[in-house]
Chain A
């Protein structure tokens, strides 16, 4: 229902949509994010449940930033995905939703996606000079050479042992 509202009021913003197991998903461009968010907020989607991201290294727009909204009155859920290329940034939602602050910091920490207009974009879970972004697909599970001294064996390393 909300998707029809978005289509009617902001025609052309929804570039893709799908419905899987009752979860409604729309895909929008990052330029349209703030307009869609303002509309969602007006329409009663005032509970921003979650912000996260998914890494698709083979795609041109490498990351999907994924937002989950809940309408407390109608209990309708909506997932909004914003594709973004490596190095590009997404507008921050901290102006409308206070909860976006830490969620965006976490996405920045683990994926390295920058949020434009975020008041305090620091790492949240790892330390400030952590090498790389842990949830990118090209970040090795054991952390890579930085965390493994020469000759040490790391578990889960596809059976290969590091060093001699």
Chain B
């Protein structure tokens, strides 16, 4: 790396270079930051990424639309179900179809569960990095319940692949709703316990207040979205601003901060978890029986029973697997509010079986690009706090 070698020559006795990563406990994924230090103060921070680059967009051009869904699991692996939802929503926009009501409601339900899981990890791990280990344990018990729920619904804890183009892979099983109701009560209690440990803790205040502060204008200019943007005071949430999946019918609030620092991001995430619990409660109240997959043989695979007994279904099955769906020629950009911010999918279709081009707009890439400006002049310990509060997920960052 040229820039590094150059700065090494310029070093005098007081300054030194420290490698944070690629395998450092606080990077939570594989990324590297080359820090140039004067004592404990950071004078330069050069992020190096791409360690988890696996060419998702290139692979997408060589896979059919349905086959791309498992790859979306591995973007933000803390809340993979939201990536499934975001991607299939984009393809459904391209097709110009609307999915059944129950499928929409279940997608909202699992998305909000995933949002809670993601925020729990982010807040808990941020606290661990700064030295508050206990809060993390309370939170991870709840995350475990969410993963149990995902396992019931999708058969997988982490890489769910739960959605399909036109609906869901299957309906939620019996026992899912009662466990979710129990989770709502227990999670509320755990959040309270976490807040008791952190919100008025003077050490937590010292370590987080004023660290990583950013103004609203700067945050927008850097392309921030999600909790980090809202913590800076911009009330931008796609669930309210550009509703999808019927979010406009749910009653919830958008918490915003004022300074954009690590403490505000923590408060915003905590309140968002409470709002997500509210949304889940409303979904459970209105969940009606019905199909979870669109009734269109050109899009949805027929049931196995029909494939083996009816000629027509066998042909549809064959056509869908071998030739794919009839895609219109065109391009769409579809964005959903993922746990980290605006998760966008830009799909260009030439009418073929595979997308001509598929672009993932990861929410944490623009946020991470501001890392140097956020930590320059601060202490090395603050860099850890800032990195945790940005919630950088390398799988999504590098794609």
Task: Give the B-binding residues of A (Cβ under 8 A).
Answer: 20-21, 23, 25, 46-50, 52, 54-55, 66, 68, 72, 75, 77, 79, 97-99, 101-103, 106, 110, 123-128, 134-135, 139, 141, 156
Contact = CB atoms under 8 A, between A and B. Distances in A.
Secondary structure call for the B interface: mixed
B369 A72 contact: no
A102 B368 CA distance: 9
Nearest to A126: B50
A135 B365 contact: no
A54 B357 CA distance: 7
B220 A72 contact: yes
B148 interface: no
Interface stretch (B73-81, B99-107, B135-143, B342-350): B342-350
B220 A54 contact: no
Given A52-B346, A54-B357, A156-B62, A25 B222 contact: no
Top 3 A-B pairs ranked by shortest CB distance?
A99-B223, A102-B369, A125-B50
B234 interface: yes
A124 B49 contact: yes
Nearest to A41: B221
Nearest to B221: A98
Contact of A134 (B58, B344, B356): B58
B252 to A, nearest CB: 18
Nearest to A79: B333
Interface of B: 1, 49-50, 53, 55, 57-59, 62, 93-94, 96, 218, 220-223, 234, 236, 241-242, 330-333, 335, 342, 344, 346, 348, 356-357, 359, 361, 365-366, 368-370, 398-399
A138 to B, nearest CB: 12
Contacts of A99: 221-223, 366, 369
Nearest to A20: B330
Given A66-B359, A127-B50, 20 more contacts: A20-B330, A21-B94, A21-B332, A25-B331, A46-B220, A49-B223, A49-B342, A50-B333, A50-B361, A66-B346, A68-B344, A72-B236, A97-B221, A102-B369, A103-B366, A124-B50, A125-B50, A126-B53, A134-B58, A135-B58
Given A75-B242, A135-B57, A141-B59, A47 B398 contact: no
A141 B63 CA distance: 11
Nearest to B236: A72
Given A20-B330, A97-B221, A72 B53 contact: no
B232 to A, nearest CB: 12
B363 to A, nearest CB: 10
A49 B58 contact: no
Nearest to B94: A21
Contacts of A21: 93-94, 96, 330, 332
Contact of A23 (B62, B332, B370): B332
A113 B226 CA distance: 30
Contacts of B369: 98-99, 101-102
Nearest to A102: B369
Contacts of A124: 49-50
A49 B330 contact: no
A134 B46 CA distance: 24
Given A21-B96, A50-B344, A50-B359, A97 B223 contact: yes
